[in-house]
Amino acid sequence: MKKQILSTSAIALGVAMAAPASAQEWDMDWGGFFNTHVGIVDVSGNGIAAGSDFDGVNIFMNREIIFSPSVTLDNGLTFGVNIQMEGDNGSAPSADIDETYMTISSDTLGRIILGNENSAGYLSMVAAPQVGSMPINSLSITGFLPLNHPNNFRRAGISSYTEVQGNNDVSRITYFTPSFNGLTLGVSYAPSGNVNAANSGPVNFNGAGLRDIFDIGISYSQSFNGVDLDLGARWGTAEARAIANGPTTDPETFGIGGSISVSGFTFGIGYAENDADGVGGAGDEEGLSVGVAYDIAGPWTVGLEGYFGEYDNGPNINEGEYTAYKLAASRSLGAGVSWDVYYVYAESENVGGAEVEGNVLATAINLSF
């Protein structure tokens, strides 16, 4: 399968390189977002460190600037770049750059993605509709609540948008087919689970970790008789390198989801699993995203959403849990400006039965440009 993916990409790249030059100029596009949340927080539980105080008013911000220049040649091929710069200094794969990749696309070729981006499986998934800019189908809410959880980013215990063993934005090759009446297939290959965005040298395949990461995604999107239907599914696996005192069973991830919109209502659900068998200190995980949103005639959208995740902490150790509920309303104030009001209740339980639960009543201003 690895050879087939690489051969297909090589053929597509060869066609692109052989295409005649174009007199078209580059579209130097850019944009981004800046979301600022202010919330009143109430936290309790036996998992809070002694002397800590998280109650009261807090501020959470999420912001990026995205550079996305592109050019379309006379033969119809479009070449593009996507570089996402974080508005803080604590993001991966480098201090202030998030995803960074190149694209090659056309109506007949489909789309090739080369670089540090999530897999075809991740990009194909569908889950509950999100109202506003504070997702609970992730750990963004930890910007307000000190939930105790293992390092399970991009894993089903906290999100139905999973990656194999939680690998995120590693260097990979992805191909999406053109849409066939709403049906799109995607496949990805990454040589390693190690991030190498800085291109600082070759990836060492001899150490512990993941190698030969394969992902497959399928999505379907169609509208008919006033009904919008979106479906998605994914599967992925990788070779697990030797880990001291640990198993080497190859990890997998699986997910399926869908949403349907009719008469202003959108109902959505997403389910995912990660089968890790202790690789890298992680256990098996599963999670369910479910929710409904209603687009009120005018500028308001309201929604109710829940996430229910579970994860193993290892043999003879307590299973962990993450549960969250969100009631939200969002109002469009104008071009690229919206205002959110929301309430979130979330709780987590981790090793030793340590529990944390909290309530957040917050508002947010979201700028998208």
CA pair distance 170, 156, nearest whole angstrom = 19
Confidence of residue 265 (pLDDT cuts 50, 70, 90): very high
pLDDT number for residue 241: 73
CA pair distance 116, 81, nearest whole angstrom = 11
Domain regions of the chain by residue span = 34-62+116-197+208-368
CA pair distance 349, 346, nearest whole angstrom = 11
pLDDT number for residue 11: 45
Q: Is the peptide bond before 202 cis (omega within 30 degrees of 0)?
A: no
How high is the mean pLDDT of the chain?
87
> Contact at 8 Å (CB) between 175 and 6?
no
Residues 249-259, mean pLDDT to the nearest whole number: 94
Higher pLDDT, 196 or 249: 249
Is a pLDDT exceeding 50 seen at residue 6? no
Confidence of residue 322 (pLDDT cuts 50, 70, 90): very high
pLDDT number for residue 95: 55
pLDDT digits (tens, 9 = 90+) for 66-89: 999 999 999 999 999 999 998 876
| CATH class of residue range 34-62+116-197+208-368 | mainly beta
Residues 233-262, mean pLDDT to the nearest whole number: 84
Verdict on whether the full-model pTM lies above 0.75: yes
- Any idea which of 51-65, 114-128, 174-188, 201-215 has the lowest mean pLDDT? 201-215
